[in-house]
Chains A and B, each alone.
Chain A
Amino acid sequence: NAGVMQNPRHLVRRRGQEARLRCSPMKGHSHVYWYRQLPEEGLKFMVYLQKENIIDESGMPKERFSAEFPKEGPSILRIQQVVRGDSAAYFCASSPTRLAEGRDTQYFGPGTRLTVL
């Protein structure tokens, strides 16, 4: 069973460009979570999605950031008009059920390291 897949692993963008980060959850997992990790800091929750629905986006910046998890295909985290402060590692995690049910945990992908020049 393949783990959580993320691509690209490294992404370089110039200020003002768009960044698109992809996440394919583990097989059988329909719940996806995105986190951001700044250097020497813990992971900060951004958004929780289930297929075709955003469940919790309390950690998402109000502007320039959006996320989707379509019926078919990977989850996408999209950052428009990137700025230097967006440089970070972005991790995706997945779980088979809602974490709120307390039966499962989440499994992380290897991350996408975004560098904004």
Chain B
Amino acid sequence: GENVEQHPSTLSVQEGDSAVIKCTYSDSASNYFPWYKQELGKGPQLIIDIRSNVGEKKDQRIAVTLNKTAKHFSLHITETQPEDSAVYFCAASKRGSYIPTFGRGTSLIVHP
């Protein structure tokens, strides 16, 4: 089955800096890669996703890149703000299922 590795487990940045979270996956059939943000005491919320027919997708301060050959994808957050502090999960899924396999999460801390 699919295995998703996520790094780092903890990321601490100063407000205004950029943050990058990286994930690798094992199943070459995976073609859908969502990212979720989980705030304390809440459920994960989808923030951005990318499908395998594109290499990059942006939404304001958030971007995701995908390298299918290397089987890795990354989340980029620019101009970080304290409210970006949360646990971020990457996930991978494939056509015919789309039930995602999640990474272990990255705790992002943005210091004011």
Interface residues of A (CB under 8 A from B): 4, 6, 33, 40-45, 48, 56, 91, 93, 98-102, 105-111
Which of B9, B34, B103, B104 is A105 in contact with, Cβ under 8 Å?
B34
Count contacts between A and B, CB distance < 8 Å. 56
Question: Chain A residue with minimal CB distance to B44?
Answer: A108
B104 adjacent to A99 (CB under 8 Å): no
Q: What residues on A are CB-neighbors of B103 within 8 Å?
A: 42
Question: Chain A residue with minimal CB distance to B89?
Answer: A42
B96 CB–A CB distance under 8 Å: yes
What are the 7 closest A-B residue pairs judged by CB atoms, nearest first? A99-B98, A42-B102, A108-B43, A43-B102, A42-B104, A110-B43, A108-B44
Q: What residues on B are CB-neighbors of A110 within 8 Å?
A: 41-43
Interface residue tally on B, bucketed by range = 20 to 34
* Given A40-B104, A48-B99: A108 in contact with B45 (beta carbons within 8 A): yes
A4–B46 CA distance with the chains assembled, in angstroms: 13
Shortest Cβ distance from residue B104 to the other chain A in the assembled complex, whole angstroms: 5
A48–B97 CA distance with the chains assembled, in angstroms: 11
A41–B44 CA distance with the chains assembled, in angstroms: 13
B99 adjacent to A33 (CB under 8 Å): yes
Q: What residues on A are CB-neighbors of B34 within 8 Å?
A: 105
